[in-house]
Amino acid sequence: MVAQDENNATGVPSLDDYPYTKAVLEGRERWALVDEDSAQFLKLLPDNCIDSIVCDPPSGTSFMGREWDSFGRAQGARSAFVAFLSEIMRECLRVLKPGGHALVWALPRTSGWTSWALEDAGFEVRDCVYHGFYSGFPKSLDASKAIDKAAGAERPVVGTKRVTRVLNPEDVKVHNYSVGTVAQGGEVTVTAPATLKAAQWDGFGTALKPAVECWWLVRKSFNDTVAGNVLTYGTGALNIDACRIATDDKLTRELGKTTTSPSGWKSVNRSPVAGKDGARWPSHLIVDHSEECEPDACVPDCPTRMLGNASRFFFTPKPSRREREAGCESLPARSGAEAVDREEGSAGLNSPRAGAGRTGGRKATLFVLRDDLTPEELEYVQRELVAAGVAF
Ligand SMILES: C[S@@+](CC[C@H](N)C(=O)[O-])C[C@H]1O[C@@H](n2cnc3c(N)ncnc32)[C@H](O)[C@@H]1O
């Protein structure tokens, strides 16, 4: 560990070696910058001294082959990553005041590992904030090129295209571009499949374009009520009003008034509490503008501008009743009670197993099996059903 104060006689690091950090903790300075291994440095801080933490730790995806992000392969990598991060996050938890929040970055693919490490460390996971930035670059292996490469076949060059950013060795490996075409604004060759099999798999890749990153919102738990904790430590609640998002929309809606969303979904305002005009409640979705947007003008392909037009995006609302029941028009209408052979309004109707033949009152169950089972297979299935408690 490199100490800020070279005069430390004992050689054992202490907070006295970090006068700026000490000054911040004592309220004499507003900030300090420390360049240390957090696993070591955090040990010097006293318990319950930090109000909040924002951190951008490794994701365990071997980012550009960096050592600090490499934890091995497959499940071994997961265990090693969780052990590494939870050790640091345990120290973060100790130094945070009760009720203190932390925002911890994660990549979607390994965000499960990050949240696991946070829970292992003792944090309470409160939410996951999704940041849609849309400008990621797909690290997709071209299946067609890979087939030609494996076959030792040279692909015919059919054109060139300009690269929009500096390519790194990973791009060269993944996209099979030749080295020497890596400069920004330079050109890479466009090739066509050389073999029949490569032609069959032309257009296939192995990854989607990254467009979202995650920020886990976690909190140190506390024994007091929220009211008691905010008064004692000044932590435990989010400053919602300070984070509201300005809008020209009128958000206060009349009780009982029906509105229609841009996707055609109608909803009736049943909330007895009015919203705040001009200020939206902050949500756990953050969207970004295109890099070319000006403060008062978005470029045409700005994702935030396009969000106003849902048809440009995958839009996945829950299916409407009409969609759920499409194709079932010719079937006789049956109530839920009829479908599970129970009395209308009976307690058993609410059983999570109603209709499964496992609770009393069921008259008959028809199991439709495949029609190509041998007598032995049929007997096996019957035995399994009897073992599972289904009477014949
Ligand atoms: C996902 S990167 C974030 C980098 C930085 N936020 C940025 O945007 O450039 C993770 C960073 O954590 C640093 N890191 C890894 N282990 C660390 C440790 N034990 N203590 C402090 N920093 C560490 C790495 O050097 C790397 O810069």
Is 151 among the domain residues? yes
Report the separation in Å between the CA atom of 56 and the middle of ligand 1, taken as the mean of its atom positions: 7
What integer pLDDT is reported at residue 58 of this predicted model? 96
Q: How far is the CA of 57 from the centre of ligand 1 (A)?
A: 5
Give the pLDDT score at 352: 43
Distance 58 CA to ligand 1 centre (A): 6
**Is 56 close to ligand 1, i.e. is its CB under 6 Å away?**
yes
| Mean pLDDT over the full length of the chain | 79
Cα–Cα distance, 327 to 314 (Å, whole number):
24
User: Residue 240 — φ and ψ, nearest 5°?
Assistant: -60, -50
In angstroms, rounded to a whole number, what is the distance separating the alpha carbons of residues 116 and 84?
Answer: 12
Q: Is 277 in the pocket of ligand 1 (CB under 6 A)?
A: no
E strand or H helix at 250: none
Is 380 in the same domain as 343?
A: yes
The stretch 335-362 carries a mean pLDDT of 54
For the ranges 17-26, 231-240, 282-291, 337-346, which has the lowest average pLDDT? 337-346
Shared domain for 42 and 160, answered yes or no, is no
Is 371 part of a structural domain of the chain?
Answer: yes
Angle at 56 between CA 55 and CA 61, to 5 degrees: 145
How sure is the predictor about 1, in pLDDT bands with cuts at 50, 70 and 90? very low
Residue 51 belongs to some domain of the structure: yes
Give the residue numbers spanning the domain of 166. 143-200
161 beta partners: 188
Q: Average of pLDDT values for 94-98? A: 98
Residue 321 has pLDDT above 50, yes or no: yes
Does 267 map to a domain?
no
Which atom of ligand 1 has the smallest separation from the CA of 68? 15
Over range 48-72, report the average pLDDT.
92
Can you tell me the mean pLDDT for 343-368?
A: 49
Q: What is the mean pLDDT of residues 334-356?
A: 59
In a 3-state reduction of DSSP, which class is residue 280? strand
Average pLDDT for residues 41-49, to the nearest whole number? 96
In whole angstroms, what is the distance from residue 278 CA to residue 244 CA?
A: 9
Confidence of residue 7 (pLDDT cuts 50, 70, 90): low
- Asked whether residue 371 falls in the same domain as residue 343, the answer is yes
Give the Cα separation of 94 and 122 in Å (integer): 10
The residue that leads in pLDDT, 384 or 199, is 199
Shared-domain flag, residues 75 and 128: yes
- 195 part of a folded domain: yes
Is the pLDDT score of 136 beyond 70? yes
Q: What angle do CA 159, 162, 163 make, to 5 degrees?
A: 130
37 lines ligand 1 (CB under 6 A): yes
Same domain as 123, residue 41:
yes
pLDDT score at 82: 97
The whole-number pLDDT of residue 386 equals: 75
Question: Could you tell me the pLDDT band of residue 215, with boundaries at 50, 70 and 90?
Answer: very high
Give the pLDDT mean for 2-23: 74
> From CA 100, how far away is CA 54, in angstroms rounded?
11
Q: In this predicted model, which residue has the larger pLDDT, 184 or 326?
A: 326
**What's the angle, vertex CA 248, arms to CA 245 and CA 251, rounded to 5?**
75
Instruction: Tell whether 156 and 195 lie within a shared domain.
Output: yes
CATH number of the domain where residue 119 is located? 3.40.50.150
Calculate how far, in angstroms, residue 39's C-alpha sits from the geometric centre of ligand 1.
12
Asked if residue 103 and residue 46 are part of one domain, the reply reads yes
- Give the contacts of 182 (CB within 8 A, at least 6 positions apart): 163, 166, 167, 168, 171, 172
Average pLDDT over residues 224-233: 98
Which of 180-184, 277-281, 304-308 comes out lowest in average pLDDT?
180-184
Q: What is the pLDDT of residues 150-207, one digit of tens each?
A: 999 999 999 887 776 556 666 655 555 544 445 556 677 889 999 999 999 999 999 9
| One domain, residues 223 and 88 | yes
Residues 76 and 148 in one domain: no
**Sequential DSSP letters for 115-175:** HHHHHHHTPEEEEEEEEE----------HHHHHHHHHTPPPPEEEEEE-SS---HHHHHHH
Which amino acid belongs to residue 356?
Answer: A
Q: How many C-beta atoms lie closer than 10 Å to residue 115's C-beta?
A: 19
Query: If we measure between CA atoms, which residue out of 57, 127, 54, 119 comes closest to residue 90?
Result: 119
- Residue range 366-379: average pLDDT? 66
Q: Is residue 302 part of a domain?
A: no
The confidence score (pLDDT) of residue 310 equals 43
Mean pLDDT to the nearest integer, 380-389: 74
Say how far residue 311 (Cα) sits from the centre of its chain: 23
Contact 95, 48 (CB under 8 A): yes
- pLDDT for 371 equals 60
Task: Answer with the residue of higher pLDDT: 70 or 178.
Answer: 70
Instruction: Please report whether residue 284 resides in a domain.
Output: no
State the total domains in the chain.
3
Residues 96 and 195 placed together within one structural domain of the fold: no
In a domain, 250, yes or no: no
- Does 1 sit in the ligand 1 pocket, CB within 6 Å? no
Higher pLDDT, 250 or 210: 210
Ligand 1: nearest atom to the Cα of 88: 19
Q: What is the DSSP letter of 330?
A: T
- For residue 312, the model assigns a pLDDT of 44
Tokens 């909190």 -> residue: 219
Q: Is pLDDT of 93 > 50?
A: yes
121 and 215 together in one domain: yes
Tell me how far the alpha carbon of residue 69 lies from the centroid of ligand 1, in angstroms.
Answer: 9
- The 10 Å CB-count burial string (b at 16+, else e) for 245-268 is eeeeeeeeeeeeeeeeeeeeeeee
Q: Are residues 104 and 51 in the same domain?
A: yes
Q: What is the pLDDT of residue 363?
A: 39
